[in-house]
Structure 1
Amino acid sequence: MKYAIQWLRSLLFSIQMYIMMPLMALVYLPFAFFTYKAVFAYIKAYANYCRWTLRWMVGLKTEVRGEIPTDECLIASKHQSFLDVILIVSTATNPRFIIKRELHRMPIFHFFGKRMGNVPVKRGDRGRAIARMMADVKSGKIAKGQLVIYPQGTRIAPGVKAPYKIGTGLLYEQTGQDCVPAATNVGVFWPKRGVYRKPGVAVLEYLPPIKAGKPRDEFMAELEQVIEENSDRLMAEAGFVPER
């Protein structure tokens, strides 16, 4: 019975979360045509709304630790569910994401994503897309901020091992920016798939930056080590025990 009640609470949370996304977008839409500040105001308001409703509807609190990046940089984050996206959006100054081009076919994602400076990519086009984004920042078309990338390329469930893709190292070289790793345990509470959301405290932690200019292989090794070690620590803190 307890599980069924929590599942129902999780379902209601998910339904209202997706309903509120376009409704809140309509409020900010007239202003977003004229200033990108309204775009970031919308995504932060929506992310904070999700965190608020998640707490009282599901009993899942959220916590962000570490020094929140405010300067231009890369954020390379462990990706376990949509919740780590919400936590980054709610805290980083002007975050933008490297995302699949297919997502930009949705009207809301297309308009707000383009205005915030997201980088929609298809296979083989990442280099040109990043170059265009950096040119738009330099020209003032989009705001300076943090480019978010997920080094493993997709959501990875707790306890599952997956390689870190070299694209993050190439991006680190191409931008010449510091990289802020981010660890998380959100997948313990909000899984990769399914409706059920577990009560507790989900954490995203910004880690000390890796300075620009390191050799690519050295950077990738350090990035994987600090993200995996600290994500394992946060998951253990949440009571997760990996299968053997």
Structure 2
Amino acid sequence: MAFRSVLFNVLFYLLMIAMMIVCAPVMVLGRPAALSAVRLFSRLSMALHRAVTGIRHEYRGFDSIPPGGSLVALKHQSVWETIALLAHLPAPAFVLKKELMRIPLFGWWARASGMIAVDRSGGVAALHEMTRDARAAVTEGRQVMIFPEGTRREAGAPPDYKPGIVHLYRELGAPIVPVALNSGLFWPRRTLVHRKGAIVAEVQLIIPAGLEPRQAFRRMRDEIETACDRLLLEAARDGAYLEPTARARVAALEDGVTPAA
């Protein structure tokens, strides 16, 4: 699997650079055209991932996402979800670190396709700017994709949800679409090695707009964490390789421990 992982990484970055350069003229045609190119890259790169590594991809429940604007709250374990899910939402708008917008080519494409920048050290002014851009995206019927924990977490690690999504839920009046996944088992963070198995992304019960924000936050967190635990157990029973953190969580679940609050 090590050779396949290296081969995929080389081909993936070549594909990304080639598409960003070859499709550059598309950026001047406006956001819909740029977003179509980004979604094409998502489909091509994930087809490459399946073909080279042999890892399967499953997308469960995405047909249940309501039309129109929403907040898509994603568990974040891997690079995988930042790419793969772009092709499975009709009009995605990722919330990205502002630093990424400064990267040549990548940043240009992110701006052209309407992604939302957030300056994590910018305080109240940065929060207002992100809220303004997210409100515009939701008004246009787009799906604002956000990682409520802010950064990648190991599969099985205790949750660490931040309050930013509570603010957006209160201000935007949009439903929350919780998405659980297990990608960190097969495309782990901080390593180039991929592992065989099936990556699953699964939409949970939609949280309607208009609830008390803290109640919505708890429901979102519980939906995601309960489902991630179930997907972790499912992968373990299928023989997936587990890092120590994931093994410890599986052992705790088998002993009857409930998701961490």
TM-score using structure 1 length: 0.90
What secondary structure is seen at the aligned counterpart in 1 of 2:189? Answer: coil
Q: Partner of 2:46 in structure 1?
A: 51
* Residue of structure 1 in register with 2:247 after alignment: 242
- Aligned residue type for 2:166: G
**Which amino acid letter does the alignment assign opposite residue 16 of structure 2?**
M
Which stretch shows the higher mean deviation, 20-29 or 190-199? 20-29
Query: What is residue 129 of structure 2 aligned with on the other side?
Result: 128
The answer to whether structure 1 residue 164 and structure 2 residue 161 are counterparts is yes
CA distance in 2, matches of 1:191, 1:136: 31
- Distance of 2:106 and 2:192 partners within structure 1: 23
The secondary structure found in structure 1 opposite 2:132 is helix
Alignment pair present for 1:11 and 2:11:
no
CA distance in 2, matches of 1:145, 1:137: 5
Are residue 91 (structure 1) and residue 96 (structure 2) matched? no
Query: Secondary structure, in 3 states, of the residue corresponding to 1:99?
Result: strand
Question: 2: distance between equivalents of 1:137 and 1:117?
Answer: 12
Q: How far 1:201 moved relative to its partner? A: 1.0
Number of the residue aligned with 2:259: none
Q: Which residue of 2 aligns with 1:178?
A: 175
- Tell me which amino acid in the other structure corresponds to 2:130: A
1:182-193 → structure 2 map (5 Å cutoff): 182-193=179-190
Report the residue type matching 1:51 in the other structure: M
Cα separation, 2, equivalents of 1:95 and 1:105: 20
In 1, Cα distance between equivalents of 2:226 and 2:138: 34
Percent of aligned positions that are identical: 30
Q: Mark the CA change 1:37 to 1:180 in structure 2 (over 3 Å): closer, same or farther.
A: same
Q: Name the aligned partner's letter for residue 192 of structure 2.
A: V
Quote how far apart the aligned CAs of 1:135 are.
4.0
Q: How does 1:1-244 map to 2 (within 5 A)?
A: 6-68=1-63, 69=65, 70-122=67-119, 123=121, 124=123, 125-135=126-136, 144-239=141-236, 242-243=247-248
Which AA in structure 1 matches 2:34?
Answer: V
Report Cα offsets for 1:167-223 as digits up to 9, x if no partner: 111111111101100000111101011011111110101122100111121111111
Unaligned 5+ residue runs, structure 2?
237-241, 252-261
1:87–1:204 contact (8 Å) kept in structure 2: no
Q: Which amino acid aligns with 2:32?
A: K
Q: Distance in 2 between matches of 1:34 and 1:45?
A: 16
Structure 1 residues 87 and 78: alpha-carbon distance in aligned structure 2, compared to 1, 3 A threshold: same
- Change in Cα spacing, 1:221 to 1:23, as seen in structure 2 (3 Å) is same
Asked if the contact 1:28–1:38 (Cα under 8 Å) also holds between the matched residues in 2, the reply is no
Checking the alignment, whether the CA contact within 8 Å between 2:177 and 2:207 is kept in structure 1 is: yes
Q: Tell me the secondary structure at the aligned position of residue 33 of structure 1.
A: helix
Alignment partners' CA distance in 1, 2:112 and 2:60: 28
* Alpha carbons 1:185, 1:203 under 8 Å: kept: yes
Contact in 2 for aligned 1:117/1:133 (Cα 8 Å):
no
Alignment partner, residue 239 of structure 2: none
- 1:95 shift after superposition: 0.8
Q: Cα RMSD over matched residues?
A: 1.7
**Do 2:93 and 2:145's aligned partners in 1 also have CA atoms closer than 8 Å?**
yes
Per-residue deviation, residues 139-165 of structure 1 (Å, max 9, x unmatched): xxxx64110111111101111113211
Contact kept in structure 2, 1:104 and 1:110, CA below 8 Å:
yes
Shift of 1:67: 3.0
Do 2:96 and 2:117's aligned partners in 1 also have CA atoms closer than 8 Å?
yes
Contact 1:64 1:87 in 2 (8 A): no
